[in-house]
Amino acid sequence: MITISVNNKKHQLNDDVDPETPLLWVLRDTLGMTGTKFGCGMGQCGSCTVHYNGEATKSCQLQVGSVGDAEITTIEGLEGNGDHPLQQAWKEHNVPQCGYCQSGQIMAAAAMLADNPKPTDDDIDLKMSGNLCRCGTYQRIRAAIHIASASKEASS
């Protein structure tokens, strides 16, 4: 039986969950946490980005059997009330269009900021290029990351 910890909560998975199942589908179909999105299933789009011990990870490429006792954080658990500086900056900049890619974008950005609180445009472009946005919100994503970075700095 597999047990995984998601957003600081332990989940015991039923025996019928194949350990090779990508974490993405366990989150979505087994645990009903649909904030993490499916976009490609091959590590190309980043819609499924979660944190694996704080590191941005594409959950469609991570077998649930290999999660072990790592801590998984999804968009639902990023910050209690959805008021992470990035989420606030996202709202301030009206970043989302359709919104589908945005959980993954925010999760990727959050991991980057934790690592590099003051990223340059180039840092952002490099780190965020694994996350596709078909609606084309990249410019606002970049701007919102800078805002969040500044507000984080101000508050720390």
Q: What string of DSSP letters covers 9-27? A: EEEEPPTTS-TTSBHHHII
- If DSSP codes are grouped into helix, strand and coil, which group holds residue 108? helix
- 75: amino acid identity, one letter: I
- CA–CA separation, 138 vs 152, rounded Å? 21
Q: Report the residue from 41, 71, 92, 146 that binds ligand FES according to the rule CB under 6 A.
A: 41
User: CA angle, corner 107, sides to 45 and 8, nearest 5?
Assistant: 125
- CA–CA separation, 51 vs 49, rounded Å? 7
Q: Report the residue from 53, 55, 66, 91 that binds other proteins according to the rule CB under 8 A.
A: 91
Q: Report the residue from 9, 12, 29, 114 that binds other proteins according to the rule CB under 8 A.
A: 29
Q: Report the residue from 48, 56, 133, 148 that binds other proteins according to the rule CB under 8 A.
A: 133
Residue 146, number of CB atoms within 10 A of its CB: 17
Choose among other proteins, ligand FES, none what residue 58 binds, the Cβ cut-off being 5 to 8 Å by kind: ligand FES
- If DSSP codes are grouped into helix, strand and coil, which group holds residue 149? helix
User: Considering only residues 58-117, where is the footprint of ligand FES by CB under 6 A?
Assistant: 58, 60, 96-102
Residue numbers of the site for ligand FES (CB under 6 A)? 38-41, 43-48, 58, 60, 96-102, 133-135, 137
Q: Which residues make up the interface to other proteins (CB under 8 A)?
A: 16, 18, 21-22, 25, 28-30, 32, 34-42, 44-45, 47, 74-76, 82, 87, 90-91, 94-103, 106, 121, 124-126, 128-142
